[in-house]
Amino acid sequence: MSLLPTCRDDCLALDAADPLRALREQFDLPPDVIYLDGNSLGVLPRATLPRLQRVIAEEWGRGLIGSWNHAGWMELPRQVGDKIARLIGARPGEVVAADSTSINLYKVLAAAIELARQRDPRRTLIVSERENFPTDLYIAQSLAAQNGMTLRLVDGEVAPHLNEQVAVLLLTHVNYRSGAMHDMAALTAQAHAAGALTVWDLAHSAGAVPVDLHAADADFAIGCGYKYLNGGPGAPAFVWAHPRHADRVQQPLSGWIGHAAPFAFSPDYQPAAGSARFLCGTPPVLALHALDCGVDTVLAAEPLGGVAALRAKSLALADLFLARLRERLDRFSIRILTPQDHARRGSQVSFAVPGDGFALMRELIDRGVVGDFRAGVDGQPDLLRFGFTPLYVRFVDVWDAVEAIHAAMLGGAHKQTVARLGVT
């Protein structure tokens, strides 16, 4: 995949020779749609509908309440978590699937703050990027206010801001706007050298790029289930704590499922061992089964090289997209924000166009090319984002997508003004 295709037939040849091509059959893709928005919502796996039908009709319909025991419903957070662990460099028993990314971030960031302040009460800073995903910043703002701390948002390099005042470094591994990827191991080492703990958001990493939490010596991590893990809209998220912390911290949402013995119904809370203490409420059985099907689609790549093979194809797809953008859209003065360097790039490409990016994206969707739009704030440009999920995206899809973008730009779609939808 090192040589870029020079024509559409080259793309078809690459797709025919692609060792991962059969993985596309796992998904129920709409006909005549080029779907490049897996970085926002993954495609429906074919296995999900029959799985949910079985769970609803048999386990719930016939098994009724007995299925909490006979169908293993209570074990789903750990079972799905163990599968996700294989994708992020964690070990069995260390990951649980539960709640949303925002709620899990609240849990681990609160735990990290408490742990850091126990070590040194003078540490009063949480450091993050100004362009971090808003929910991460909102949660951090809330916890900073609750703990008498300050959230410091930085632009550019993060390392110079790590000092003896920092309690926690909170970063998203792959930036949701630009697609730029941090060096997790290097920044974790720098944070530790400054005496700080790290919390990593893997929403745009898990299932898309190689992640090894233990090799990076990370402290805490959370992530999303409905992007590259294909768990469906609003799928449960996941949470991980390094074993050196997991039995020492007490997260603030001490619900009954995180109790050491939930069905003892003790009036006093005693946290479960390890990452299980980060559970809170009753497991969402249907959503966890859907997530389980989604994670299976990624694990299906293991005999073919696993995440490393997915990453190689993703980079090749994005390389083609970037090359074709520069060739076909240079005259339109587009601005590419995603790094060219493979080591600094996630699994998406983001660019800005002069004019109305939302109008252009709506035109592309009408043409059968689905990406997404993110509005600029504080002087930043509006962005069009395109995700390259190698499980189902083909080289010919990339070729045809750029041709559609070129045609839409020639037609002046970016010069139009259209009413923005509630969800953009």
Give the residue numbers marked as catalytic: 133, 201, 226-227, 385
**End-to-end CA gap in the chain:** 33
User: Residue 26 corresponds to which amino acid?
Assistant: Q
Whole-number Å distance between alpha carbons of 286 and 297: 17
Whole-number Å distance between alpha carbons of 393 and 388: 6
Report the Cα 182 to chain-centroid distance in Å: 14
Q: Are 393 and 401 in contact (CB under 8 A)?
A: no
Roughly what angle, to the nearest 10 degrees, separates helices 357-366 and 395-410?
Answer: 120
Which pair of structure tokens corresponds to residue 94?
């260390």
Place of tokens 């004019």: 355
User: Residue 5 corresponds to which amino acid?
Assistant: P
Place of tokens 């402290």: 219
Q: Are 259 and 61 in contact (CB under 8 A)?
A: no
CB atoms under 10 Å from CB of 155, counted, come to 8
